[in-house]
Amino acid sequence: MDVAALPDLDQLDIDALKALVVAQRESLASHTQQVEHLKLVIEKLRRMILGAKSEKVIVQVEQFELQLEDAETEQAADEEKFEAPAAETKPLLPSRPARKPLPAHLPREVVTHMPEQDCCPDCGGQLRNFGEDVAEILEYIPANFKVIRHVRPKFSCKQYERVVEAPAPSRVIERGLVGPGLLAHVLVAKYADHCPLYRQSEIYAREGVELDRSTLAGWERRASY
């Protein structure tokens, strides 16, 4: 279903909006069921590999792994379509797993974004620092991960009730935790180096960074926009 082709939300009545959410939920559930089925098949084949080193079974596992990646990429697309038109019907949305914090052992690079003005835009008075907003994204440098910590000090005016801070830096994926270098590395590794997402996930895990295949599939989907 093309969300862009839909009328504005304020033009939909409640019944139509509910029907839209139900239809997208069914599509999402279908892809979710397919993902779970492929996971079970892959696990069964992996157990067969442990029992007997069959080249045929190994090839089957790799084929199912690739199918699972495609299914998870489609599932990520369905989740985005599901969220957009149903923004005003949050009780109908399925619960999503809590996002894991970025690994604490990774080095942090702090980038501080100061406001363009060092005085109140309204009165020109002196500003005082009363806090800051902090956001982290996961970036990749060849053979190394690091976390870039974006810090935006918050200032207030003594005379006016005004808060001043630098605008938040743009992200390669809206609300995503991936930096442009890491995203480019994931895509090049898959399409140029023929390294499937499930293998990349295993490689990153060895470096102490857990990136589920479904997360990488979601990044891949968003990068295609």
CB 12 within 8 A of CB 23: no
Say what the pLDDT of residue 93 is: 45
Domain ranges for the chain, please list them.
3-92, 108-223
- Which token pair is 216? 């990488």
CB 107 within 8 A of CB 147: yes
Say what the pLDDT of residue 57 is: 65
Could you identify the residue written with the tokens 């990749």?
140
Say what the pLDDT of residue 63 is: 78
26, β-bridge pairs: none
Report pTM.
0.58
Task: Please state, in angstroms and rounded to a whole number, the distance separating the CA atoms of residues 99 and 87.
Answer: 20
CB 116 within 8 A of CB 166: yes
DSSP 8-45: PGGGS-HHHHHHHHHHHHHHHHHHHHHHHHHHHHHHHH
pLDDT tens for the chain, 225 residues long, are 455 555 555 555 677 777 777 777 777 777 777 888 888 877 777 776 655 556 666 667 777 777 888 888 877 777 777 665 555 555 444 455 567 889 999 999 999 999 998 899 999 899 999 999 999 999 988 778 999 999 999 999 988 889 999 999 999 998 889 999 999 999 999 988 889 999 999 999 998 999 999 999 999 988 877
Say what the pLDDT of residue 141 is: 82
DSSP the chain: --GGGSPPGGGS-HHHHHHHHHHHHHHHHHHHHHHHHHHHHHHHHHHHHHHS--HHHHHHHHHHHHHHHHHHHHHHHHHHHHHTTTTT-GGGSPP-PPPPPPPTTS-EEEEE---S-SB-TTT-PBEEEEEEEEEEEEEEETTEEEEEEEEEEEEEESSS--EE-PPPPP-SSTT--B-HHHHHHHHHHHHTS---HHHHHHHHHHTT----HHHHHHHHHHHT-
Per residue in 93-144, pLDDT (tens digit) is 445 556 788 999 999 999 999 999 889 999 989 999 999 999 999 998 877 8
